[in-house]
Amino acid sequence: MKEIIQFKKGVLGLCVMVLINERDQYGFELAQQISKHIEVAEGALYPVLRRMVADGHCTTYLQESTEGPPRKYYKLTPEGKAYMNELVTEWNRFVTGVQNLMEETERGERDA
């Protein structure tokens, strides 16, 4: 199970960037969007967001909410968008490589 947790941790930043690139979002909203596709604890998201801000990939701003206190929204910086594009390219290469390896292994098992 440790591997599954590591998969999720490794891809969480990419998921966040892709969603924020679509439109600025606040933390809870991001957690809800990601949870539709990947089971992840909401608490795992905030360290990723803090790191993205510290690395200059994201900025934040407060926006008034009709449902309580102002919300902190996250927005990709130009550097963040460039970094996200690099990550997407690498992710696609990685997934393709893993898929190819798995398919070759499955073919080898059938041929044996």
- Longest Cα–Cα distance of the chain, Å, equals 64
Which residues lie across from 73 on neighbouring strands? Answer: 26, 61
Residue 40: Cβ within 10 Å count: 18
User: What pTM did the predictor assign?
Assistant: 0.86
Average pLDDT, the chain: 92
End-to-end Cα distance, the chain: 30
pLDDT of 101 above 80: yes
Q: Which of 15, 110, 25, 23 is nearest to 65 (CA)?
A: 25
Give the tens place of pLDDT for each residue, 60-97.
999 999 988 999 999 999 999 999 999 999 999 999 99
